[in-house]
């Protein structure tokens, strides 16, 4: 069987490394009192980070039907904190593609305090067009909940696309910030809130992408977040298309008057935080702000990519760094910090930095169609030679969901989505926790069903047999990628279609 046994041992050894608690807790070589970004290896888009009663709480976009949160007493500890599922949705009108979580401790009309968890969500099979903003309410004041669904944040009698909900408090009044469309431009709006889940009036347009740096790859203003300093109030937002490495941050400053009037907000003429090719940081954006544990420092949390070839998906990681204040009262963000740079921990944080173990990321090159790779597009599995973003063809090898002796292939840019089969159709989908899903997303690594040219190493040509449908392999049927039934007498072409070479990007 050529060197399949050796190949399988290598894969299992990598899996053992990935799940080893000792590896996950290995101290880094960062100097004491410092840490290095990122706070996660992937799946860190649209982060929201808050300190509360001695702990850090972090949430990010999940793309799925489940919202999660991490808690740690230290900032670096978030790297290895287990995500806690705080809510799962089954209603098809709001079940999927959960984006841009934010949670705020607000006062309900009866005077009680609760965490209100805002997020964008849509319908199954559509990851953009049907997004709306929803809110959960915690039972008490624990950021981890439990939570119950409170409602959709929308104006009565309306039903239009809106995302990236956030809360701003000014002169005792609570306002809601969001992004929506006007005249073909994705723009920013503000509306008063009568309670944490109800908008009191129609929103007012306060910013549209009218400057060249806001229109790279698309005309976009989104992700508005309030920032306060002394008597000053700012709205920091993301600009340009998130699919480009030129996604960046812009800023509005409140200059007095009615906050619902566009005249109350003045746009900074230049971006305040953007890509740093020298530091290897691209598309920094969709941020939040938090205080150091002792309350003396202001910090920004944001997502970014470490390659200009990555896109608007789970390749983005969560990063944090301090901000300082200029003499004119405006914030100074500097440049996004390189991943190898040690950053002093937030004041009052006594944590120790850790090293996250490496991911086993693979691409699967077809033997039948050399230099083409399995990839997902609109969540369906297909085969292409030109893949952009390249992350569409990258999978993380993890222990099999149904059997740890086998493997599962998790999408690199859609974390918690796995390559699965259902009725012989191949696609990626979020793990729903069911035994059926686990079986359909688990694969046995077999020796290649066809003879490859071997390349520089033996045993690199493999085939993937379905765990739940023995005798069926990832291959092609009627010109599309599908699960194929292959036997000893199957044609050579079918066997070549079901043989792949593992490569590492």
Report, as residue numbers or ranges, the catalytic residues. 46, 222
Q: Are 331 and 322 in contact (CB under 8 A)?
A: no
Dist. CA 37–CA 79, nearest whole Å: 9
What tokens does 414 get? 């859609």
DSSP string for 390-435: GGGG-EEEEE-SS-TTSEEEEESSSTTEEEEEETTEEEEEE--S-H
* Residues paired with residue 417 on neighbouring β-strands, in sequence order: 430
Q: Could you tell me which of 264, 283, 301 has the C-alpha nearest to residue 188?
A: 264
Dist. CA 106–CA 248, nearest whole Å: 29
Q: Could you tell me which of 407, 414, 415, 468 has the C-alpha nearest to residue 437?
A: 468
Q: Could you tell me which of 306, 307, 211 has the C-alpha nearest to residue 268?
A: 211
Dist. CA 431–CA 262, nearest whole Å: 44
3-state helix, strand, coil in the chain (%, to 5): 10, 45, 45
What is each CA distance from 410 to 68, 115, 153, in whole angstroms? 18, 32, 33
Dist. CA 438–CA 188, nearest whole Å: 41
Q: How many CA atoms lie within 13 A of 39 on its CB side?
A: 32
What is each CA distance from 146 to 109, 139, 501, in whole angstroms? 20, 6, 46
């Amino acid at each position: 069987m050529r060197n399949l046994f050796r190949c399988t041992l290598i894969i299992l050894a990598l899996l053992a490394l990935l799940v080893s608690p000792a590896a996950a807790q290995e101290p880094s070589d960062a100097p004491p009192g410092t840490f290095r970004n990122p706070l996660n290896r992937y799946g860190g888009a649209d982060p929201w980070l808050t300190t509360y009663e001695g702990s850090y709480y972090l949430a990010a976009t999940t793309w799925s039907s489940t919202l999660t949160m991490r808690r740690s007493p230290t900032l670096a500890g978030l790297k290895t904190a287990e995500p806690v599922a705080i809510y799962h949705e089954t209603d098809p009108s709001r079940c999927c593609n959960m984006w841009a979580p934010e949670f705020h401790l607000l006062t309900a009309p009866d005077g009680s305090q609760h965490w209100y968890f805002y997020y964008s969500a849509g319908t199954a099979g559509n990851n953009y067009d049907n997004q709306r903003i929803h809110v959960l309410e915690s039972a008490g004041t624990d950021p981890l909940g439990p939570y119950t669904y409170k409602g959709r944040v929308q104006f009565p009698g309306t039903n239009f696309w809106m995302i990236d909900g956030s809360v701003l408090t000014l002169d005792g009044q609570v306002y809601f910030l969001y992004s929506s469309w006007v005249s073909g431009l994705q723009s920013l709006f503000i509306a008063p809130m009568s309670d944490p889940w109800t908008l009191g009036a129609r929103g007012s347009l306060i910013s549209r992408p009218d400057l060249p740096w806001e229109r790279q790859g698309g005309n976009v203003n989104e992700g508005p977040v309030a920032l306060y300093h002394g008597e000053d109030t700012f709205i920091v937002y993301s600009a340009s298309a998130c699919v480009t490495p030129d996604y960046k941050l812009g800023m509005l400053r409140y200059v007095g008057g009615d906050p619902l009037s566009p005249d109350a907000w003045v746009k900074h003429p230049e971006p305040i935080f953007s890509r740093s090719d020298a530091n290897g940081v691209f598309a920094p954006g969709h941020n939040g702000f938090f205080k150091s544990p002792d309350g003396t420092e202001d910090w920004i949390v944001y997502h970014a990519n470490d390659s200009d070839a990555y896109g608007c998906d789970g390749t983005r990681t969560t990063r944090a760094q301090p901000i300082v204040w200029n003499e004119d009262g405006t914030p100074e963000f500097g440049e996004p910090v390189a991943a190898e740079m040690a950053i002093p921990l937030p004041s009052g944080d006594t944590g120790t930095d850790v090293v996250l173990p490496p991911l086993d990321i693979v691409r699967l090159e077809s033997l039948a169609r050399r230099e083409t790779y399995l990839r997902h597009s609109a969540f369906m599995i297909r085969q292409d030679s030109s893949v952009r973003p390249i992350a569409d063809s990258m999978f993380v090898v993890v222990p099999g969901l149904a059997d740890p002796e086998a493997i599962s292939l998790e999408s690199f840019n859609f974390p918690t989505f796995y390559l699965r089969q259902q009725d012989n159709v191949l696609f990626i989908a979020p793990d729903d926790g069911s035994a059926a899903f686990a079986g359909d997303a688990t694969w046995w690594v077999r020796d290649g069903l066809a003879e490859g040219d071997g390349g520089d190493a033996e045993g690199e040509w493999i085939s993937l047999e379905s765990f739940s449908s023995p005798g069926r392999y990832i291959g092609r049927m009627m010109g599309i990628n599908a699960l194929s039934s292959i036997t000893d007498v199957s044609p050579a072409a079918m066997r070549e279609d079901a043989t792949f070479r593992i490569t590492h990007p």
